[in-house]
Structure 1
Amino acid sequence: MSKQPRPHLPTPSQTFNHRKFKILSALAVPDEEYTDLSPKGSVDVGIRDLIDELNTREGLVTTSSCAGRVSVYLEGPSKTATITTSEEDERNNVRSSAAGGKGGGEWLFVSHDPISTLPFQGSLEELFGLRQWEDGKGEDGEEGRMVHFKFEPMILHILTASHGHAQRVIQAGMEAGFREAGAVSLLSRQDDDHHPIVAIRSMGLSFESLIGVEGSDGVRRAVVSSGYLKRVVANSEKLFKENEKRIARFKEALKSAFEEKPKAKEGWEDAEARRERKRLEGLKRKEEMQRQKEAEAAGIADTEPSTAQVILEPPEVL
């Protein structure tokens, strides 16, 4: 069964090219001057080559990115929300916790590189802004905020010029192991002014563990042993390595996805090429057979005597 050719990608619209120009203009400033809304405030070094690869391709531009990171995060304070649908509900307040990065939380530690590569000589508790656990200290009350240790793999948001561009990016992400890759803005209509945004991500590499608590005395203490902290850090080191492998695979898959003609294996030809080769070979054989017939016919005429000559030749006189 022959492989079906991929649909031709449409030319990016002027609207898309204008948006891409504005984004690239912001990225073009020197690293020391560039700032964004991330905790780091700039593009991660470990992903800069991939971003450059993406942004040089027609119909693609990155809108946000993270190469992968390890962090320690103090969740936000509990909030009280009043439901006013009935008199009974007004008397029953609903508590909601802002864990995971929203609602006034605080980053205690963030690194886009493995912790083992950092120039830090103290304990992990010190690195994460925690005191070692002390029995009976800070345990009372329900207002204590939890401290989370997290590893998060690479995530990219890519603005694409068309549904076709988006599909190829998603395919490359899936092939590289980013199983949750998909469109986060994909409408049913396919006009020139709609540009799908694709997220390249993999929740399978994410890791999180509770490692501390902020007690009623305001002190942040570890709730796990030093040995346990070393275990979670060692696990994050393994995840960093796997994340790097997937980034490299995605870069290669992206190149393949946007080649107009896929690389053919040595000795392999598609159906169209095979038909053309067979046609030319047939014409060549036909020409050779015609030449052979003409040569044979010419040879017979030169060597065989004519019938008339034999009949008319007089008999020898004795």
Structure 2
Amino acid sequence: MQSRFKAKKQRILEQLNVPNAEYQDLSPKGSVDEPIRELIDDINMVEGLVTTSSCSGRMSVFLEGQKKSTTIGELEPDNVVSRAGPGGKGGGSWLYISHTQTALPGQVAASYFTSLFSLQRPDGEGDSTRTVQSRHIHLKFEPMILHILTSSLDHSQHVLNAALNAGFRESGAVSLSTKDGDITNPMVAVRSTGYSFDSIIGYHNDHGQNIALVDENHIRMLVEIANERFKINIDRISRFRSLLLEQYRPQAPKLGKTDWEDPDARKRRKREEGLARQRAITAEHTAVSPTTQTKSNEESDLASVLHNDSSKL
């Protein structure tokens, strides 16, 4: 393995091994998501792989941010305020984040999710404050995304095969080659956008209020959809883990499969077992007792005599 890759992996593992109370990263949560902590540990056990960033999948409620104008006291060209995208870059704030299914109240409450997501119902006049410059509030579901640094093209191919077969159809790799022909360390992104969704449920008005644009039943429906998507997400994560570690089974004892056998050794064993069975069958046919053989001859002679006597009648 290249020394450059080993050095990178060592630095990453040192950071991940920091106690949870002290660990901090650039994500809103600030730490590795618990639903994929075991997956990350398993991947990092493989010599040629190391995870660099991850999200186990989440449902979030996000308020768009607003970029500052280029000149103090002035708006962007055409008097349009530039807004940050719903992904969080450029500002904004997270009103709610969950990496697991969100609990649903037993009965439909008038304002359960409205309160949970820090929204307010319009008071009649509030809705008139919404303009094209208003910052919108999004309820989103995003599946797992995982970035894995690999030590070679072969390793990156193993990761891609597992990801695509597990249902992460938008997975891909970068840094597959270099201009000077040096050995590269491809980065593989494991991801799928096919079952993500983004729905606007409110806006931020000029009075600093987060106003709901949809009713409680509509928000509950979106949460129920997100909970179903979590089930799909967990299933695909499980398949990806199995498919990936299957390719590194000798290096991944956490799979619990200790009966792995080298393909060549298996061929030799099967061939020897087949020869042994053939020898046993041959021995069974040849090991006929003399008494049985004699009795068979006597029965044959008696049958011949009876045949001859009956022909004279």
**Correspondence for 1:132:** 121
SS of match in other structure, 1:194? coil
The 1:189–1:174 alpha-carbon spacing in structure 2 relative to 1, beyond 3 Å, is: farther
Q: Is the alpha carbon distance of 1:80 and 1:178 closer, same or farther for their aligned partners in structure 2, counting shifts above 3 Å? A: same
1:107-139 alpha-carbon deviations (Å, 9 max, x no partner): 111111211189xx9711111111023333143
- Where does residue 148 of structure 1 map in the other structure? 138
Q: Is the 8 A contact 1:15 1:193 kept in 2?
A: no
Match of 1:224 in 2: 214
Paired residue secondary structure (2:128)? coil
Alignment of 1:236-251 (within 5 A): 236-251=226-241
- In 1, Cα distance between equivalents of 2:160 and 2:224: 31
Which amino acid in 1 is paired with 2:123? Answer: E
2:163 & 2:223 partners in 1: Cα distance? 27
Q: Which residue of 1 aligns with 2:171?
A: 181
TM-aligned CA deviation for residue 81 of structure 1: 6.7
| Structure-to-structure mapping, 1:28-43, within 5 angstroms | 28-43=17-32
| Rg comparison, structure with higher value | 1
Q: Which residue of 2 aligns with 1:202?
A: 192
| Aligned pair partner of 2:94 in 82, 88, 107 | 107
**Does structure 1 conserve the Cα–Cα contact (< 8 Å) formed by 2:136 and 2:203?**
yes
Contact 1:148 1:208 in 2 (8 A): yes
Q: Does 1:123 align with 2:109?
A: no
Per the TM alignment, residue 275 of structure 1 is displaced from its structure 2 partner at its CA by: 12
Unaligned runs of 5+ in 2: 251-258, 284-313
SS in 1 for 2:194: helix
The CA deviation at 1:177 is: 0.7
Q: For residues 239-318 of structure 1, what are the structure 2 equivalents within 5 Å?
A: 239-259=229-249
Deviation at 1:185, TM superposition (A): 3.3
Distance (Å, rounded) in 1 between the aligned partners of 2:111 and 2:123: 19
Please say if residues 169 and 257 of structure 1, whose CA atoms lie closer than 8 Å, have aligned partners that are also in contact: no
CA pair 51-192 structure 1, distance change in 2 beyond 3 A = farther
Which residue in 1 is equivalent to 2:154? 164
C-alpha distance after superposition, 1:121-170 (max 9, x if no partner)? 97111111110233331433433110000111111101100111001101
TM-score (norm 2): 0.73
- The Cα RMSD (Å) is 3.8
One-letter identity of the residue aligned with 1:112: H
Q: Which SS does the other structure have where 1:234 is aligned?
A: helix
Single out whichever of 165-174 and 100-109 deviates more from structure 2. Answer: 100-109
Give the number of equivalent residue pairs. 263
**Contact 2:63 2:94 (8 Å CA) reproduced:** yes
Could you tell me how far apart the structure 2 residues matched to 1:215 and 1:94 are? 16
